[in-house]
Amino acid sequence: MEERRYVAVIDFGSQYTQLIVRRVRELGFLAKLHALEDFDSLEEPGAIILSGGPRSTSEEGAPDIDFRRLQEYGVPVLGICYGMQLLNIKFGGTVEASDRREYGPATLNPECREGLFEGVSKDSQVWMSHSDTVNELADGCRVIARNQDGTPVSLQWGDSFFGIQFHPEVTHSHEGLQVLRNFLDQAKGLQQFRIEDFKQELLAQIRERVGEKQVVCGVSGGVDSTVLAVLLKESGIRMRAIFVDHGLLRKAEGDEVRENFRRMGVDIETVEASERFLGELAGVTDPERKREIIGNLFIEVFWDSVGDADMLAQGTLYPDVIESASNDKTKASKIKTHHNRVDRILELQAEGKVLEPLAELFKDEVRELGLSLGIEHDIVHRHPFPGPGLAVRCPGEVTVDRLRIIQECDAIFIGCLRSYGWYDRVWQAYAALVPVRTVGVKGDERSYEFAVSLRAVVSEDAMTADWAELPCEILRDSSNRILNEVPGVNRVLYDVSTKPPASIEWE
């Protein structure tokens, strides 16, 4: 495979770092995220972006970078927030701690409309998130933009080193994409990112790695595992796809999953294990313990069905890889709570026999890949569904009756979203049980029944999310139907929490 010159994003710990990678890909170029510890061994970067971070450059042990090595790469460099402050120090300037944190919108006033700010309007809104500020500029450094108070918010050193004190990757920076585009225009020979080309590379890599071995994969009906299974089938390798029905699915979802795979021409083997899962979960209320039970039992049931396998394929995505990471060098090998808790999988990982073809993709890119594989729109655009299933939407003990309530309420809510044309307009929607009995009136009698919370969010990739401002008619119809059709519920709530600070799921 030909060498790529890609955009290397160096992670200094910003909550927005993944978004930088996404934005670069949206602009059509290949980008990869690297831990700071891997900086000295980058392979053919065409441009380097230093992310922001929560630390202060004046702290003892603050993240640092090999400046000589950075210069030796000989490519354009962009420092964002912490990255800009660090560059200013490396070039001989100073940074000082501020007595207040600047967080939120600010006005960008470019000093000139060329280079980094070509096509960027005056008084453009940008998003700040920092506490330290640049104090003294290094010799040869020039200010190329200021904020509304005249404070420098963008610096340039020489022809190829740039710094910005705002986050161009977030949507609150209205012309942030233009700033990133202008920076990438400084680079030469960047590899373009096209999903069709990426698909062909993935297929070739799968065939080369697998050869005549047999690969087994678990499928849930979700977008990730579905695209994975179809990709493996398209590659022509020997594969088995196994669907474990753990009883924590949405209403009639098992039948829907089987029908969808039939439509795609992928044979799957179904393992019915709902009684076993519910038995293990009986009496358990701690959310992490529930996840652990489900994760471990799923793998046990899965491997009992497999018997043995030459290789295992997993639908791990790029956010999974990064979120599962710690700050040390072992972060790439760590998986979320409900992944890889059985020795056999760890053995396969150690032997290099775990296949994760989607590990460089975000969710929307996986959907795009699925469409390029011929998967139909309604399957590719199913809402995300958590690995532990409805257990994470059932705080407290998971019981048959509580699952019934969630399934029925969820089916009504999703049905209303579809009938009003809103299903594809939200990232994810569901009903969750509020494990508190509230007083109500049904007929002429008081009732003490559960409350249900409806949640619908808009997001690009689940790293951040806002609650969806659904039309009142959808909420009214959903509430009326739930209260009239689902026994055990006498109150319906709508969740208006953003992520952060809340998560999308309840547990």
**The last residue of a domain, from among 184, 217, 234:** 184
Same domain, 167 and 263: no
Same domain, 154 and 21: yes
Same domain, 368 and 404: no
The better pLDDT of the pair 466, 335 is held by: 466
What token pair was written down for 28? 């059509």
In the set 81, 141, 217, 409, the catalytic residue is: 81
Residue 217 appears among annotated catalytic residues: no
**Does residue 482 form part of some domain?**
yes
Q: To which residue do tokens 């060329």 refer?
A: 114
Q: Which of 35, 40, 65, 46 is nearest to 7 (CA)?
A: 46
In this predicted structure, what is the pLDDT of residue 232?
A: 97
Q: Are strands 141-146 and 152-157 parallel, antiparallel or unpaired?
A: antiparallel
Average pLDDT (57-67) is 86
In the set 3, 96, 102, 169, the catalytic residue is: 169
Same domain, 343 and 416: no
**Does residue 388 form part of some domain?**
no
Tell me the H-state helices in 48-134.
67-72, 82-90
**Does residue 28 form part of some domain?**
yes
Residue 169 appears among annotated catalytic residues: yes
Confidence class for position 323, pLDDT limits 50, 70, 90: low
User: What is the domain-level CATH number for residue 47?
Assistant: 3.40.50.880
Look at residue 419 and tell me whether its pLDDT is greater than 90.
yes
In this predicted structure, what is the pLDDT of residue 332?
A: 31
Same domain, 374 and 411: no
**Does residue 480 form part of some domain?**
yes
Helix (H) or strand (E) holding 196: helix 195-210
Residue 124 contacts residue 108 (beta carbons within 8 Å): yes
- Which residue segment(s) compose the domain that 312 sits in? 195-380
Q: Are strands 354-355 and 161-164 parallel, antiparallel or unpaired?
A: unpaired
In this predicted structure, what is the pLDDT of residue 330?
A: 33
Same domain, 366 and 411: no
Radius of gyration for the alpha carbons in the chain, expressed in angstroms and rounded: 25
Tens of pLDDT, residues 172-209? 889 999 999 999 999 998 988 889 988 998 999 999 99
Same domain, 218 and 162: no
Q: How far apart are CA 98 and CA 134, in angstroms?
A: 10
Tens of pLDDT, residues 133-160? 787 888 889 999 998 888 889 999 999 9
Average pLDDT (433-454) is 88
* pTM, entire model: 0.76
Tens of pLDDT, residues 244-277? 999 999 999 999 999 999 999 999 999 999 999 9
Average pLDDT (229-236) is 96
**The last residue of a domain, from among 135, 165, 184:** 184
In this predicted structure, what is the pLDDT of residue 322?
A: 56
In the set 167, 246, 338, 383, the catalytic residue is: 167
Residue 227 contacts residue 373 (beta carbons within 8 Å): yes
**Does residue 328 form part of some domain?**
yes
Residue 5 contacts residue 41 (beta carbons within 8 Å): no
Q: To which residue do tokens 């209320």 refer?
A: 285
Average pLDDT (305-332) is 65
Same domain, 156 and 252: no
Average pLDDT (445-459) is 93
Domains of the chain: total: 3
Residue 128 contacts residue 104 (beta carbons within 8 Å): yes
In this predicted structure, what is the pLDDT of residue 41?
A: 84
**Does residue 250 form part of some domain?**
yes
Confidence class for position 114, pLDDT limits 50, 70, 90: confident
**Does residue 1 form part of some domain?**
no
Look at residue 55 and tell me whether its pLDDT is greater than 50.
yes
Confidence class for position 320, pLDDT limits 50, 70, 90: low
Q: How far apart are CA 130 and CA 103, in angstroms?
A: 7
The better pLDDT of the pair 349, 355 is held by: 355
**Does residue 500 form part of some domain?**
no
Residue 241 contacts residue 219 (beta carbons within 8 Å): yes
Residue 130 appears among annotated catalytic residues: no
Same domain, 439 and 348: no
Mean pLDDT over each residue of the chain, to the nearest integer: 88
Q: How far apart are CA 256 and CA 251, in angstroms?
A: 9
Enumerate helices (H) and strands (E) in the chain, giving the number of each.
15, 20
Look at residue 342 and tell me whether its pLDDT is greater than 60.
no
Q: How far apart are CA 269 and CA 192, in angstroms?
A: 38
Q: Which of 366, 449, 444 is nearest to 405 (CA)?
A: 449
User: What is the domain-level CATH number for residue 358?
Assistant: 3.40.50.620
**The last residue of a domain, from among 127, 150, 184:** 184
Same domain, 341 and 423: no
Confidence class for position 108, pLDDT limits 50, 70, 90: very high
User: What is the domain-level CATH number for residue 404?
Assistant: 3.30.300.10
Same domain, 149 and 129: yes
Same domain, 160 and 245: no
Look at residue 326 and tell me whether its pLDDT is greater than 50.
no
